[in-house]
Structure 1
């Protein structure tokens, strides 16, 4: 199988402190299977590569989606133009209660496909059935920071926190380091202060970060 050569593409160099003339530089990209072998100016044998013309195109590092519920692609358009709490309580939470692990897997696969097609290579996701999210991420080839959503008013809050810890220990660093994990307290309105403090201490013990909804609406500022 021939290597792929993207020829004469504009490269976004990402050199810190560079001026505009240095930020974009014409060059080539050589790809061998799943790996980028070379970037810039280099010699190559035209008989050994498949050439893709990169003229009028820009190559840049993958985009990062910093907050997702990937499987909610299945609910796209289900309930629009509503305030947050009615949207959650009347529409989203009842519908989510009917989702299962298979729904989450395929919803995540769909979201990953859409992200890849739009240039996103990394996403941070907080949801449930996260083992399925992690598996879909492995299979899609993406990079992700994953967290099980935690609710602090749940009678099983202690058990759910332990499940989150188990998830982190299972998946942290999987996929040759493409998967990393956090703890995911849902929001201040679903996690009381004492529960948030417990989650924070647990995160410190596990040496992971937190993924939380914050300042979502004007009401949180009043």
Structure 2
């Protein structure tokens, strides 16, 4: 077993007690073999779950669609037109696929910014994953604040669901899609809701020049 993040720790033998899908105990403890189902992991290593700090989970559906391009042509010519054709059902199943792949690779938590976030949250809830979710916000087409209000409604609906597995943030997309005054409004809203921000920053060298 690997406990914590100390790179010099020695591997230890131990047990993990799971009850109703929740880990109740980890380490060297005794148990009654007649009262539990034993899964023998003597040739395996148990370690803390991996965390993916930035995802667009449903974009697993677009894997391989457009590669080896600079950011803005990639977005404007390939990704955004294709995303415009996605619907709530495709987002749900794309997120389910991503959750399956993350589970298989040992990832237990991910931070996601996208759209049709109710479907992302529902897929995450059903998969058993833990996630920090944010509806992507584009400031240039949100003059009346509709998208920001939808984000607030999403947070109020999903914050803490799944026995605390789902938490929420606000997701201003990037500095090139959210003007400064819009970012200021999002920041103030985040303070009011006591949530964090998920944003793209320093994606290309142009942001430094």
Fold shared by both chains (TM-score > 0.5): yes
User: Which sits farther off after the overlay, 80-89 or 152-161?
Assistant: 152-161
Q: Hey, what's the Cα distance between the residues in 1 that align with 2:4 and 2:119? A: 41
Check 1:148–1:155 CA distance in 2 against 1; reply closer, same or farther (3 A cut). Answer: closer
- SS state of the match for residue 173, structure 1? coil
Unmatched runs of 5 consecutive residues or more in structure 2: none
- SS state of the match for residue 78, structure 1? coil
Unmatched runs of 5 consecutive residues or more in structure 1: 1-13
Task: Tell me if structure 1 keeps the 8 A contact 2:133–2:167.
Answer: yes
Check 1:51–1:188 CA distance in 2 against 1; reply closer, same or farther (3 A cut). Answer: same
Q: Hey, what's the Cα distance between the residues in 2 that align with 1:187 and 1:44? A: 52
Check 1:173–1:18 CA distance in 2 against 1; reply closer, same or farther (3 A cut). Answer: closer
1:49: Cα distance to partner? 3.7
Q: Deviations over 1:47-97 (max 9, x none)?
A: 444433323422111111100000000000000111100000000000000
1:157: Cα distance to partner? 5.3
* TM-align CA RMSD: 2.2
User: Which has the higher Rg, Structure 1 or Structure 2?
Assistant: 1
Which among 52, 57, 79 is matched to residue 39 of structure 2?
52
Q: Hey, what's the Cα distance between the residues in 2 that align with 1:56 and 1:142? A: 25
Aligned pairs, number: 209
Residues 49-198 of structure 1 aligned to structure 2 (within 5 Å): 49-156=36-143, 158-198=145-185
Task: Tell me if structure 2 keeps the 8 A contact 1:151–1:157.
Answer: no
Task: Tell me if structure 2 keeps the 8 A contact 1:150–1:157.
Answer: no
1:42: Cα distance to partner? 2.0
Check 1:128–1:18 CA distance in 2 against 1; reply closer, same or farther (3 A cut). Answer: closer
Matched, 1:43 2:30: yes
- SS state of the match for residue 12, structure 2? strand
* TM-score normalized by the length of structure 2: 0.92
1:16: Cα distance to partner? 9.6
1:46: Cα distance to partner? 3.3
Q: Hey, what's the Cα distance between the residues in 1 that align with 2:43 and 2:11? A: 12
1:19: Cα distance to partner? 7.0
1:221: Cα distance to partner? 1.1
Q: Hey, what's the Cα distance between the residues in 2 that align with 1:51 and 1:146? A: 35
